[in-house]
A and B are shown apart, each in its own frame.
Chain A
Amino acid sequence: MFAYAVSNPLLDRYDPYWVCRLSALKVAYVCVVVFILNAFFKSPTVPVLQMLVTAVAVSATELPPINSQKKKILAYIGVIVLCVTTNTLFGLVSYFKWGQLIAIGAWTFVLYHFIAKDGATANIVGVLVLIGIVSLEGGVATDFNGAINHIFFYIEYAAVGLMALVLFPNMHDHIVKSAALRLLELDRRWLMGNFSLQEFEEQTIASLLMIENQANQVSPAIYALMPILKSLQLEIRADLSLAQQRNEVLLAQVEEIYEAIKSLQRVPSVENISSGHDVLDSKISQTLRDLAKYWNAQCLA
């Protein structure tokens, strides 16, 4: 499907590293699963809250710090437990005028106290409290009997969501390949001389960080592109004079590898990647040759 190719010119503009596409596919897929589930379950209320909580937990698993399967499962369960506790508690106290304010304030404080250690974790607490307050609009349970019924219903949806999440195919290699494409695009622009050093450094580091974040989520063969790409970026950056003059030979080599990664095909003429004019050019050509050879040998399976 064209939107799910490694590179799509339109989507790459908004989602350069494939992260949003992956997250969107995952949330939509889990939603379809819970919609189907809804056809067979008898819910105590309209089940959008349970679906919302499941969707939020799935979204949380795609956040950058959650970068391994174990962390994803733990984060999913953690978000579900905290969301369900918050919604249940807010529902139980929603009956009281002042008691509601005191209990919501106290629980919010407890969440911030134990979970918020920096801005990012404080953000998670914000989302939990937000869903808790949103849940007050729906048919909340104000007695223990109703609350337990609701909790089981949350758990049913969450368990199915977790199963769907575990069965979701691993597509993180697309993120590494997208990041490699962004690096080669940078090199191309650098070689054409229309890029500042600061921009080059910032974007190189951003792309490398994106690959590093996938270390535990892709096969070691794909992750092993990292050292080659690091060397390539350092070598291309090293000769500032390259930016001043258009280097046709190197540019053609970069272009060839770029097209191969983009279309997930072999680099056709690895041995033709010739050495450049000076020492640095030949080093860059050697690294490009290594990259092409490695791509052909390890990354196409």
Chain B
Amino acid sequence: MLSLNFRKRKAQVVGLIVFSLWVANLLQWDEGLWVAVSVTAIIGPFSPSLTLQKSRSRIIGTIAGLLLATILEIFLRYNHQLVFIIGFLLAYCLGFTVQQNYRYFIMVVTIAICLNFEYLNLPFTSFEPISFLISRFMAVLAGITLFLFIQKYILGPQNARNELAESTQKLANHISDALGQIAQASHESAKMGIDLAMDLSSQSESFKELLAASDYGLDAPCNELNQARKIDRLKQRVTSLLLDYSYAEQDRSGAQSQNILKLQKRASRLSKILNQPNQNQVLNA
């Protein structure tokens, strides 16, 4: 079941895309469609905090990409037979950066799209790199400004707060589940502590990303942010506990059996605390 906040964000994103297209149609600039392209690219990460964080990388990546694309266009004008090599290098860089760095990825995508468009519109293209650069830059800047203005001043930080709170709650539930499994584990339990720690870590990846970007999405420190930071610290402690448990489980000598019991008691206590209705007080304590 999707949360109300998630559904609300979907409507916001669709509205922003349509609005940016309308602005692009209204402006009738040379490269006006890039207003909508920029807004859609920034909205890609979906979350308000992540989109705001990535808009910075987007601005830097787009400017660098436009400059490099202009140089490449001038180069290809006189060396058009090398387009195959440039295409191959761009494809390689695209594949490398897609999972590496968003800023470089945007830079390569910008170069690729610029060159693609020049070849798409080959019979009509002006081949005036400077005017092309300026008009595209204007459209990108307009798109980014439009997005930042709407996200910051019209949509506001409420959505980012709700999202962080939901993500924190989800992680708290995962932590509680992992602790519950340790507390009730039999000696022949199928999942070792280290597997549970790995599960917990992969479940908290999006939370960590969101927490790192929350400074951009939230205007000022708030309860949701404090709560999220506490849960993040708790997650680190629980990970340590799970690894301790896993080691004790691996080595079932006399002392380690006692350790297992001790760790199970700790897990059970933490799990109870997390399942209490007023977690906030408990976390503060």
Q: Which of B92-100, B144-152, B269-277 contacts A (4 or more CB under 8 A)?
A: B92-100
With a CB–CB cut-off of 8 A, which chain A residues contact B45?
119, 123, 126
DSSP class of B's interface residues: helix, strand, loop or mixed? helix
Taking the closest CB of chain B, its distance from the CB of A134, in whole angstroms, is 6
User: For residues 29 through 62 of chain B, which have their beta carbon under 8 Å from a beta carbon of chain A?
Assistant: 33, 36-37, 40-41, 43-47, 50
Tell me the bound Cα distance from A283 to B256 in angstroms.
Answer: 15
Task: Look across to chain A and name the residue whose beta carbon is closest to the beta carbon of B25.
Answer: A97
Asked if A235 and B247 make an inter-chain contact with CB atoms under 8 angstroms apart, the answer reads yes
Taking the closest CB of chain A, its distance from the CB of B96, in whole angstroms, is 4
Q: Which of A15-23, A180-188, A244-252, A255-263 contacts B (4 or more CB under 8 A)?
A: A15-23
With a CB–CB cut-off of 8 A, which chain B residues contact A45?
120
DSSP class of A's interface residues: helix, strand, loop or mixed? helix
Asked if B96 and A20 make an inter-chain contact with CB atoms under 8 angstroms apart, the answer reads yes
With a CB–CB cut-off of 8 A, which chain A residues contact B47?
119
B239 within 8 A of A: yes
Asked if A137 and B96 make an inter-chain contact with CB atoms under 8 angstroms apart, the answer reads no
Asked if B206 and A118 make an inter-chain contact with CB atoms under 8 angstroms apart, the answer reads yes
B22 within 8 A of A: yes
Asked if A31 and B91 make an inter-chain contact with CB atoms under 8 angstroms apart, the answer reads yes
With a CB–CB cut-off of 8 A, which chain A residues contact B206?
118-120
A189 within 8 A of B: no
Tell me the bound Cα distance from A134 to B44 in angstroms.
Answer: 14
B-side interface residues, number (CB < 8 Å): 59
B66 within 8 A of A: no
With a CB–CB cut-off of 8 A, which chain A residues contact B93?
24
Asked if A234 and B92 make an inter-chain contact with CB atoms under 8 angstroms apart, the answer reads no
Asked if B96 and A24 make an inter-chain contact with CB atoms under 8 angstroms apart, the answer reads yes
User: For residues 165 through 218 of chain A, which have their beta carbon under 8 Å from a beta carbon of chain B?
Assistant: 197-198, 201-202, 205-206, 208-209, 212
Query: Which residue of A104, A138, A202 contacts B121 across the interface (Cβ within 8 Å)?
Result: A138
User: For residues 109 through 138 of chain A, which have their beta carbon under 8 Å from a beta carbon of chain B?
Assistant: 109, 112-113, 116-120, 122-123, 126-127, 129-130, 133-134, 136-138
Taking the closest CB of chain A, its distance from the CB of B248, in whole angstroms, is 9
The 8 A CB mask of B69-90 against A (1 = contact, 0 = none) is: 0000000000000001001100
With a CB–CB cut-off of 8 A, which chain B residues contact A105?
14-15, 17-18
A85 within 8 A of B: no
Task: Look across to chain B and name the residue whose beta carbon is closest to the beta carbon of A62.
Answer: B99
Taking the closest CB of chain A, its distance from the CB of B120, in whole angstroms, is 4
B116 within 8 A of A: yes
A35 within 8 A of B: yes
Taking the closest CB of chain B, its distance from the CB of A123, in whole angstroms, is 6
A32 within 8 A of B: yes
B218 within 8 A of A: no
The 8 A CB mask of B188-217 against A (1 = contact, 0 = none) is: 000010100110011000100000000000
Asked if B2 and A117 make an inter-chain contact with CB atoms under 8 angstroms apart, the answer reads yes
Q: Which of A47-55, A152-160, A267-275, A289-297 contacts B (4 or more CB under 8 A)?
A: A47-55
With a CB–CB cut-off of 8 A, which chain B residues contact A15?
96, 100
Q: A104-B17, A201-B240 are in contact. Are A212 and B96 (CB under 8 A)?
A: no
Asked if B122 and A130 make an inter-chain contact with CB atoms under 8 angstroms apart, the answer reads no
| Interface size grouping (class) on chain A | 35 or more
Tell me the bound Cα distance from A108 to B15 in angstroms.
Answer: 10
B260 within 8 A of A: no
A230 within 8 A of B: yes
11 A–B contacts, CB within 8 A, in A order: A24-B94, A24-B95, A35-B87, A97-B25, A122-B10, A122-B46, A201-B243, A205-B201, A230-B246, A234-B250, A237-B243
With a CB–CB cut-off of 8 A, which chain B residues contact A235?
247
Tell me the bound Cα distance from A31 to B243 in angstroms.
Answer: 44
Query: Which residue of A20, A118, A134, A234 contacts B246 across the interface (Cβ within 8 Å)?
Result: A234
Asked if A108 and B91 make an inter-chain contact with CB atoms under 8 angstroms apart, the answer reads no
Asked if B117 and A138 make an inter-chain contact with CB atoms under 8 angstroms apart, the answer reads yes
Asked if B240 and A197 make an inter-chain contact with CB atoms under 8 angstroms apart, the answer reads yes
User: For residues 125 through 163 of chain B, which have their beta carbon under 8 Å from a beta carbon of chain A?
Assistant: none
Taking the closest CB of chain A, its distance from the CB of B37, in whole angstroms, is 6
A40 within 8 A of B: no
Taking the closest CB of chain A, its distance from the CB of B269, in whole angstroms, is 21
With a CB–CB cut-off of 8 A, which chain A residues contact B95?
20, 23-28, 58-59, 62
Tell me the bound Cα distance from A237 to B251 in angstroms.
Answer: 14
Asked if A130 and B99 make an inter-chain contact with CB atoms under 8 angstroms apart, the answer reads no
Tell me the bound Cα distance from A180 to B94 in angstroms.
Answer: 26
B113 within 8 A of A: yes
Query: Which residue of B33, B100, B101, B116 contacts A136 across the interface (Cβ within 8 Å)?
Result: B33
A78 within 8 A of B: no
User: For residues 227 through 248 of chain A, which have their beta carbon under 8 Å from a beta carbon of chain B?
Assistant: 230-231, 233-235, 237-238
